Amino acid sequence: MQRENPIPQTLVAAVAAVRAGNCSPVTLVKEALECVARFRDLNTIAFLDADRALAEARVLEREVRDGHIRGPLHGVPITVKDLFNVRGMPTIAGTNAPLSPIEPDEAVAVAKLREAGAIILAKTNMQEIALGLNGENPWTGDVKNPYDPARQAGGSSSGSAAATAIGIGYGSLGSDTAGSIRLPASFCGAVGFKPSFGAVSLEGALALIPSCDHAGPITRTVADAAAMFAALSARNSLLHTLEEFSSSAPRFVVPRAYMVGALTPDVRAAFEAFVAHLQAAGASVADVTLDIGNAGEAFLPLRAESVMVHRHTLETQPEAFAPGVREALMRGYEFSAVQYLEAKQRQGEMRAAIHRALQDADALLMPAAPCVAPPRGTVEINLESGAKNLRLAILHLTAPAAFAGVPALSLPFAQCDGLPVGVQVITPFGEDERALRIGAWIERALAE
């Protein structure tokens, strides 16, 4: 059946079409539900209430006809990672283990999306309790990569990234403790934004490491990420300034010494070609020292916070966690109070080091992943420096921004053998709008 108007491909376009009366929220939800059915084998969805989503869409459609627009996401279907409470939907967090009560019964971030007019379509599958980076889960099944189902989708916001990439909603609410928004966005060809620590509320969500947990959007474009972030953070002025960067092109810095041997050869070649493209578009790019040591190791003592989150289950039903997750949680018991406090001190030092690197620049650039999505089950990859544990190789790139709590945007910058890879745009703490504006500039430069 031929439609009068084509289905909008981006969140921003969908909002505009709904407001203009050119597209119905009901049509958008039905299209998303068709995608759920079409891509069921990718295992992106943890819980779906199609009837409820359609009922909400009909209400929002009537409101448009009556001239009432709730907010900047009116009538647009969105998914939510299954560690955020959504009223009327269970929170399983990808685990068989019992979870401590999470209050309130609807996460503050989800409530903000509803207030902005979004339709909560479904909850997405994830790595167990958000602890992991490959998207593989023995309890709920692996989320599969939309570019190649034999490959990893990335974790832990695996279902959120894959669902967004294939059209199940126009964006998803994810979480990022050490890379869990940016990595799956990179592997799945989506845009992922980890804002400054605390910029988006995590009240009503299952914690992993509370002092490093972040909430943020996964979308198809930077403008879409800005629209979701504006709703999540109540920074609506951002929507009017995204296109206004400055009369001059951005000044970028690249921590090449930090990245020596840290990438696969194909990602290295793609990244250097990308940097050259930015320079040809007018941007300045300089090398910079990123003196932060081993971010992945510095991060480890904070695992003690994960023990506190799941302490009751670890002490009473440890077997309820998958073996790898249980082992990772139990390591949290190994650190002393001094080591924990040293790690907390390192957080501030790392933020200061990133700020020093950005002193004469608008943003710091480095890949969001050392490789394209590897085959599912992969635990080791071959970097320029030789064989490396996949998790550690990823954390080398993603952990610094999470540990320091600074904004980091991942957007697709290249494909290697048909598989996407993302670049991180890192800015100082509190400069979330800057990261998004520069991301929009990069997106435009790549399109030229």
Contact 124, 46 (CB under 8 A): yes
Contact 357, 406 (CB under 8 A): no
Catalytic-residue membership of 156: yes
SS3 251: strand
Catalytic-residue membership of 160: no
Residue 100 to residue 304: CA distance in whole angstroms:
17
Q: State which amino acid sits at residue 44.
A: T
Residue 173 to residue 184: CA distance in whole angstroms:
13
Residue 447 to residue 434: CA distance in whole angstroms:
20
Catalytic residue, candidates 24, 160, 180, 410: 180
Place of tokens 């921590």: 255
Catalytic residue, candidates 24, 81, 194, 233: 81
Catalytic residue, candidates 112, 144, 156, 196: 156
Catalytic-residue membership of 246: no
Backbone angles phi, psi at 91, to 5 degrees: -110, 110
Residue 78 to residue 93: CA distance in whole angstroms:
18
Which runs of E-coded beta strand occur in 163-290? 171-176, 191-194, 214-219, 251-254, 284-287
Burial class (CB in 10 A: 0-12, 13-18, 19+), 129: buried
Active-site residues, by number, are 81, 156, 180
